[in-house]
Copies of this chain bind each other. A is one copy, B any other.
Amino acid sequence: MPRLVPALAPTLALAIALPLAAQTPTGSRWWPSEWGAEDERGAMHRITPAKVLEAARLITEGEIYQLGRTYDAEMPLFGNRHYSLTIPGLPTGGPTGENRILWNDELVSGQIGQVGTQFDGLGHIGTEVDGEYLFYNGFRLSEFGTPYGLERLGVENVGAFFTRGVLLDVAAYKGVDRLAPDYVITVADIEGTLARQGVEIHEGDVVLFRTGHSALWGEDNATYQATNPGPGVTAVKWLIERRIVMTGADTPSVEAVPGEDPNRPFEGHQWLMNRNGIYNLENLDLEALAADGVYEFAFIFAPLKLRGATGSPGNPIAVR
């Protein structure tokens, strides 16, 4: 069973009832980090050596699953983002020397931390409060943002994920190939899926939702990107109480879009990253894990240390 989180739970209850300016605990400007006023790593602190060893013990078969998607110019993209890869010169250098060596490079342009398989760092999501833009731990964008990168909360601070991963195959639980694009996953769905799979969520886990939505990837990009099934804000809060380190899914946003309240878009992102320092991983390929019925595994991912970046591309792996 996940441990109870007495310190956080009252905060959550309070937050739902009160207007925005009054939502923070005990009148503070913003949700304080449990890891101190200067903390920039959030839930990564839960990946302790003991947690690493818990994950390592799940490696019994020696089988690796790549969860990252291939980046190319045909990916579905959010808004005005772009992705371009070219090979200057072909070859880019040489042939030279008596050994006639030659080489190719690639030139990439794009919102590389926020296209394709993408990791949301703590500098990605904030909330406007009384005209200020507040991020994790109450850091103000006006104080740490620069046009050439963030001076706080950049992904170079995150470190590496080597922890227990849990797959929630909600599509299988619901008996469908693919959840409807606007389906909101409930706490009951999560509990039902866990029971069906015979697994539990532990503190420090990465929790990945398989919805089947990724069947649209490359087939119907417009529908893939427009809305997506996923946990509603209620389920997100339930996950936060389990003290996980990251959510992930085979969808563009992980949380349901438009979700429980269309007037509060992407609010799960605020509960996760902005208030609780919990990360988020989007556009995964979870098909092989699901096909093999792999529901717990070592989850491994080290974001690129892009100084001052809000996110990172990646090819996370599951190992069992």
Residues of B within 8 A of A107 (CB): 84, 86, 88, 107, 109-112
- One digit per residue, 1 when the CB lies within 8 angstroms of any chain B CB and 0 when it does not, for chain A 37-71 equals 00000000001111111001001111110101111
**Contact present for A160 and B64 (CB under 8 Å):** yes
Is the Cβ of B147 less than 8 Å from the Cβ of A64? no
Tell whether A90 is near chain B: CB-to-CB under 8 Å.
yes
- The complex places the Cα of A319 from the Cα of B160 at a distance, in Å, of 10
Return the chain B residue nearest A129 by Cβ. Answer: B100
A148→B88 contact, CB < 8 A: yes
Q: Which residues of B contact A114 (CB under 8 A)?
A: 105-106
Fill in one digit per residue for A73-102: 1 if any B CB lies within 8 Å of its CB, else 0.
Answer: 100000111101111111111111111111
CA distance A94 to B303 in the complex (A): 25
Contact of A108 among B109, B141, B261 (CB under 8 A): B109
Residue A214 is within 8 A (CB to CB) of chain B in the complex: no
Q: Is B105 within 8 A of A111, CB to CB?
A: yes
| Nearest CB of chain B from residue A272's CB, rounded to whole Å | 12
Kindly state the interface size class of chain A when it binds its partner: 35 or more
Residues of B within 8 A of A266 (CB): 97, 99, 101, 103
A87 touches B133 (CB 8 A): no
Instruction: Specify which chain B residues have a CB less than 8 angstroms from the CB of A72 in the assembled complex.
Output: 149, 307-308
* A234 CB → nearest B CB, Å: 14
Partner among B47, B113, B127 whose Cβ is within 8 Å of the Cβ of A100:
B127
Stretch at the interface among A3-11, A235-243, A244-252, A310-318: A310-318
- Cβ 8 A contact of A101, one of B62, B113, B270, B309: B270
Q: Is A180 an interface residue (CB 8 A)?
A: no
A306 interface contact, C-beta 8 A: yes
A267 interface residue (CB < 8 Å to B): yes
A-B contact pairs, 13 of them (CB 8 A): A49-B62, A52-B63, A81-B105, A82-B82, A87-B89, A87-B308, A89-B148, A91-B147, A97-B264, A97-B267, A105-B111, A107-B110, A107-B111
List the 10 closest pairs (A to B, CB-CB), nearest first: A89-B147, A49-B62, A52-B62, A86-B88, A88-B147, A95-B128, A100-B128, A302-B315, A72-B307, A56-B59
